[in-house]
């Protein structure tokens, strides 16, 4: 039963991998291969306008899944529909409904000005001239592109190029945008700018976003939902808030004290950092409620300031991979 914009059911993709692929084997060694499940029995559904992060360590199967969903790779088993189309059978029809951005690949023709690439893409997608001009001017404003349009793509910085690339992927107003490591290699400012642009984009166009990234800040700033995979299998599929609430077993307590060398001792609290008039504690909230520790600290110290933080997302993800438990 198809209900979402992206529907995936028991998607599986295997690759043949050479196991004796090293030089020391010499000239006459026989090639030995084994089959590896890059994606195994993966199922999920994404509704129109959802912003979903698809995360996992290297080799988890994120990019493979994205390639299958955009029609670049055929699965060994399972089915998928994107905008009601089977990606690998209806690749060219699907192309009108999706946009694809890879961090290290470009939609632009490097030896030509950016505007030329946009014009050609508009022709390829058979866009009505007026609709194209309207969309382009919105994207120019959204991604602040006006100064780059006349420049050769090869002369743009990585951040500028990425903004142009996302705009290029959006010229035909795709329903679904696949982003594979869009912030890779960008500096802090460029990353932040790009995230802002993507949020504005989702608000304006109601575009479904499926994002893979190793940068948890991308996920926190852009997505509402997280699908966590490892070894091609789904570990978690939940909202970002739920993930942080449910799986953050610790909280960080930051204290600024009157006392010069504050110290704290509790079986379920770890002192993370200790310094002049400051103390950072990691509280295991499954064993002791945070309010108990806070009350205890108020009793023990003369506090100038107090801060409570959830565990950073990358810590949560790291912890989940270490435990490698199937939570669903």
Partner 1 sequence: MNTRHNLSVLMTAMIMGLRDGWSEKLVLLGTLMVYGVIIMLYAGVMRMIPPADIAPLGLTQSQMIWYIATTEFILFAAPSWGFKDIQNEINTEQVHLDIIRPFSPALLRIAFWYGEAIVRFCVLFPFYILTATYFAEAFEPSLLDLLGIIACAPLSLFMALVMYYAVGTSCLWVVQSEPAYWVVHKGIFLLGAMIWPIVFYPDWLGAISWFTPFPAILAVCGKWVLGSSALELGAAFAHQVVWAVLILYALMKFERIVLRRIQGEGAA
Partner 2 sequence: MMSTLKTLAALFVANVRTYAIDKKRLYVMSLAMCLQNTMFFVLWVIFFNHVGSIRGWDLVDVTRMFGMVASVCGLSLFFFDGLRTIPYKVSSGAIDFYITKPRHPLPAIMLSSSSPASLGDVFYAPTLYLLIQGVLGIPVFTFSMVPLFLLLTVLSTILFMSTMCLLFSLSFWLKGNPRFSGQLFEMLIIFSCNVLHGQPWGVKAVVFTLIPAGFISYLPIELLRHFDWVTFSEIVLATIFYAWLAIFIFNKGLRRYVRAKA
User: Footprint of partner 2 on this chain (CB under 8 A)?
Assistant: 21-23, 25-27
67: alpha, beta or left, given left = phi > 0 and alpha = psi -120 to 50?
Answer: alpha
Q: Which stretch binds partner 1 (CB under 8 A): 19-27, 72-80, 137-145, 242-250?
A: 72-80
22 binds, among partner 2, partner 1, none (CB under 5 to 8 A by kind): partner 2
Q: Which stretch binds partner 1 (CB under 8 A): 89-97, 139-147, 155-163, 245-253?
A: 89-97
27 binds, among partner 1, partner 2, none (CB under 5 to 8 A by kind): partner 2
**Beta-carbon contacts of residue 19 (< 8 Å; ≥ 6 apart):** 32, 33, 34
- Is position 321 an interface residue for partner 1 (rule: CB under 8 A)? no
21 binds, among partner 1, partner 2, none (CB under 5 to 8 A by kind): partner 2
Rank residues 177 and 219 by Cβ distance to partner 1 and give the closer one. 177
E strand intervals along the chain: 6-18, 33-46, 51-55, 77-82, 98-102, 176-180, 208-212, 225-230, 233-239, 250-257, 269-275, 278-284, 303-310
| Shortest reach from residue 155's CB to partner 2, in Å | 14
Q: Which helix (H) or strand (E) covers residue 243, if one does?
A: helix 240-247
- Is position 37 an interface residue for partner 1 (rule: CB under 8 A)? no
26 binds, among partner 2, partner 1, none (CB under 5 to 8 A by kind): partner 2
20 binds, among partner 2, partner 1, none (CB under 5 to 8 A by kind): none
| Shortest reach from residue 20's CB to partner 1, in Å | 18
Q: Which two tokens stand for residue 112?
A: 């030509």
Strands, sheet with 278-284, edge to edge from the N-terminal-most edge strand: 269-275, 278-284, 250-257, 303-310
- Is position 98 an interface residue for partner 1 (rule: CB under 8 A)? yes
| Shortest reach from residue 266's CB to partner 1, in Å | 52
| Shortest reach from residue 26's CB to partner 2, in Å | 6
Rank residues 17 and 32 by Cβ distance to partner 1 and give the closer one. 17
By C-alpha distance, which of 215, 213, 184, 164 is closest to 52?
213
Among 53, 80, 95, 228, binds partner 1 (CB under 8 A): 95
The 8-class DSSP code of residue 45 comes to: E
User: Is the sign of the CA dihedral 96, 101, 102, 108 positive or negative?
Assistant: positive
3-state secondary structure 170-215: HCCCCCEEEEECCCCCCCHHHHHHHHHHHHHHHHHHCCEEEEECCC
- Is position 215 an interface residue for partner 1 (rule: CB under 8 A)? no
Rank residues 31 and 260 by Cβ distance to partner 2 and give the closer one. 31
């Amino acid at each position: 039963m198809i209900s979402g914009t992206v529907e995936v059911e028991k998607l599986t993709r295997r690759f043949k991998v050479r196991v004796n692929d090293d030089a020391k084997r010499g000239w006459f060694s026989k090639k030995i291969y084994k089959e590896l499940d890059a994606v195994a029995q993966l199922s999920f559904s994404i509704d129109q306008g959802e912003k979903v992060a698809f995360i996992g360590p290297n080799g988890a199967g994120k990019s493979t899944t994205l390639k299958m969903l955009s029609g670049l790779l055929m699965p060994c088993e399972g089915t998928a529909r994107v905008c009601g189309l089977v990606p690998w059978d209806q690749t060219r029809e699907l192309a009108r409904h999706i946009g694809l951005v890879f961090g290290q690949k470009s939609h632009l023709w490097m030896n030509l000005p950016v505007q030329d690439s946009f014009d050609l893409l508009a022709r390829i997608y058979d866009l009505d001239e007026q609709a194209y001009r309207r969309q382009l001017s919105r994207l120019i404003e959204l991604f602040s592109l006006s100064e780059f349009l006349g420049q050769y793509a090869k002369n743009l910085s990585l951040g500028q190029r990425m903004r142009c690339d996302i705009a290029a992927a959006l010229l035909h107003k795709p329903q679904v945008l696949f982003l594979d490591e869009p912030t890779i290699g960008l500096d802090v400012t460029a990353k932040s700018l790009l995230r802002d642009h993507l949020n504005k984009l989702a608000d304006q166009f109601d575009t479904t976003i499926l994002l893979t990234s190793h940068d948890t800040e991308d996920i926190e700033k852009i997505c509402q939902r997280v699908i966590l995979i490892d070894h091609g299998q789904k570990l978690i599929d939940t909202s970002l808030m739920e993930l942080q609430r449910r799986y953050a077993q610790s909280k960080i307590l930051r204290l600024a004290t009157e006392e010069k060398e504050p110290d704290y001792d509790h079986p379920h609290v770890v002192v993370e950092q200790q310094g002049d008039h400051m103390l950072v504690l990691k509280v295991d909230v499954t064993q002791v409620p945070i309010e108990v520790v806070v009350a205890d600290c108020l009793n023990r110290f003369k506090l100038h300031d107090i801060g409570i933080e959830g565990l950073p997302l990358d810590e949560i993800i790291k912890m989940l991979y270490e435990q490698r438990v199937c939570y669903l």
